[in-house]
């Protein structure tokens, strides 16, 4: 091959590349990259039709996922929730901590030796979900739930919430085997669930049978991509997160504490021997990165960790309990917790195994 033909051969890819660039839209129209790798993104993102028709209609309408608190719509929403998930709620204290004891009206007799501990969401500064998170799971599992009303920041920063959660867990250990206790939470409650497990191990306590980690993050020293892409409602409400992003978030809760403390940020803890954990999130969740990163960390530690990611849903979408995706999410949460608290049950060799009822509380074992 001559030198001229060889030069022509190498020139062909460059020519094709130039032609391709000429035929495609300019990259700057969609994305620009700074010298430090920071991306400035402009996209058109349609509502995907992979989701249920009910959820699609809600997203297209632009309406709120849950009614405005204090409105008649909100009262009707709560009434409907209790009709689907019938429970009794008692306000009391456990180990000096305020709690709600949530007892399912369809409680299964063979589950009286079990208990679930619910740690609510609300960014560690408010209680945005103790009633809903405990009501739905109590009814679906047929198991009594203790919803911990832990102390809130900024008046009570870390480790107050962890101390309250562990105090309730220690009290539960007085009357329940650890294999009959599960801990779960959404958002801040997910974070707190992991923190409480790490702190319990540090104190030498036996760990619970399972952890439900529903849309949280466990590295308060660093952020993943999703924190810079989404607000609490997917692509909206992002501006409200900007102050938190500048201070790496949860500033009132963290205060001036070392963000790499393994209790505050369980990503830096030894996770070997951690309880079986269900991690749940969605693709428009600002905690997407945190949840999947925690799942990978658990897998690296050899933990039985499951991950469930829903398409297009925003942060903690299962609060909108009457959507198909929300029902699926809640049933998956309940099924996971129910399984790990039931796995130690023993039946007579000829006994018929528990059946699942075909009703709204379909995960209650007969």
pLDDT of residue 246: 59
Q: How many domains does the chain have?
A: 1
Residue 12 to residues 6, 19, 24, 81, Cα–Cα distance (Å): 10, 11, 19, 65
Residue pair 264/254 in contact (Cβ under 8 Å)? The answer is yes
Does the residue 253 lie in any domain? yes
DSSP structure string for 218-256: S-TT---GGGGT-BTBBTBS-GGGHHHHHTTS-HHHHTT
Can you tell me the distance from the alpha carbon of 246 to that of 193, in angstroms, rounded to the nearest whole number? 25
pLDDT of residue 20: 44
pLDDT of residue 340: 97
Residue pair 135/115 in contact (Cβ under 8 Å)? The answer is no
Residuewise pLDDT in 10s, the chain (366 residues) = 544 444 444 444 444 444 444 444 444 577 888 899 888 888 888 999 999 999 999 999 988 888 888 899 999 999 999 999 999 999 999 999 999 999 999 877 888 899 999 999 999 999 998 999 999 999 999 999 999 999 999 999 999 999 999 999 999 999 999 999 999 999 999 999 999 999 999 999 999 999 999 999 999 998 888 887 776 776 666 556 555 655 556 678 998 999 999 999 999 999 999 999 999 999 999 999 999 999 999 999 999 999 999 999 999 999 999 999 999 999 999 999 999 999 754 433 333 333 333 343 334 332
SS3 at position 309? strand
First to last CA, the chain: 81
pLDDT of residue 316: 94
312 backbone φψ class: left, alpha, beta (φ>0; ψ -120 to 50): left
Can you tell me the distance from the alpha carbon of 143 to that of 108, in angstroms, rounded to the nearest whole number? 7
Q: In what order do the strands lie in the sheet with 145-148?
A: 87-94, 97-104, 145-148, 115-119, 181-186, 210-214, 277-284, 305-314
Overall residue count recorded for the chain in this entry: 366
Does the residue 17 lie in any domain? no
Q: Which residues are registered as beta bridge partners of 282?
A: 310
Can you tell me the distance from the alpha carbon of 320 to that of 177, in angstroms, rounded to the nearest whole number? 33
Structural domain for 162, as ranges: 53-342
pLDDT of residue 14: 47
Can you tell me the distance from the alpha carbon of 150 to that of 84, in angstroms, rounded to the nearest whole number? 27
Does the residue 200 lie in any domain? yes
Identify the CATH number of the domain in which residue 77 sits.
3.40.50.1820
pLDDT of residue 99: 98
CA-based max dimension of the chain: 90
Does the residue 98 lie in any domain? yes
Residue pair 186/133 in contact (Cβ under 8 Å)? The answer is yes
Q: Which two tokens stand for residue 72?
A: 């008649």
pLDDT of residue 10: 40
Does the residue 310 lie in any domain? yes
């Amino acid at each position: 091959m001559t030198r001229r033909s060889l030069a022509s051969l190498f020139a062909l890819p460059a020519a094709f590349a130039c032609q391709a660039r000429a035929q495609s839209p300019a990259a700057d129209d969609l994305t620009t990259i700074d010298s430090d790798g920071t991306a400035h993104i402009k996209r058109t993102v349609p509502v995907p039709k992979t989701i249920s028709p009910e959820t699609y209609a809600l997203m297209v309408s632009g309406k709120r996922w849950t009614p405005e608190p204090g409105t008649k719509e909100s009262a009707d929403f709560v009434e409907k929730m209790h009709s689907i998930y019938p429970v009794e709620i008692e306000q009391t204290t456990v180990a000096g901590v305020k709690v709600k004891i949530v007892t399912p009206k369809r409680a299964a007799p063979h589950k009286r030796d079990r208990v679930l501990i619910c740690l609510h969401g609300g960014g560690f500064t408010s209680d945005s979900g103790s009633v809903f998170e405990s009501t739905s799971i109590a009814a679906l599992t047929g198991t009594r739930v203790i919803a911990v009303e832990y102390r809130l920041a900024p008046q009570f920063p870390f480790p107050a919430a962890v101390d309250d959660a562990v105090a309730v867990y220690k009290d539960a250990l007085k009357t329940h085997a650890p294999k009959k206790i599960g801990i779960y939470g959404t958002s801040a409650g997910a974070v707190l669930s992991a923190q409480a497990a790490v702190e319990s191990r540090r104190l030498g306590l036996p760990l619970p049978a399972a952890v439900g980690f529903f849309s949280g993050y466990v590295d308060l020293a660093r952020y993943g991509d999703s924190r810079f892409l989404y607000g609490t409602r997917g692509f909206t409400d992002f501006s409200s997160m900007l102050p938190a992003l500048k201070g790496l978030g949860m500033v009132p809760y963290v205060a001036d504490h070392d963000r790499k403390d393994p209790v505050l940020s369980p990503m830096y803890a030894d996770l070997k021997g951690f309880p079986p954990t269900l991690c749940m999130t969605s693709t428009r969740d600002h905690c997407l990165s945190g949840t999947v990163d925690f799942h990978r960390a658990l897998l690296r530690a050899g933990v039985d960790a499951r991950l469930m990611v829903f398409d297009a849903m925003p942060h903690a979408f299962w609060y909108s309990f009457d959507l198909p995706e929300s029902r699926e999410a809640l049933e998956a949460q309940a099924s996971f917790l129910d399984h790990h608290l039931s796995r130690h049950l023993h039946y007579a060799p000829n006994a018929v195994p528990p059946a699942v009822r075909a009703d709204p509380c379909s995960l209650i074992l007969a």
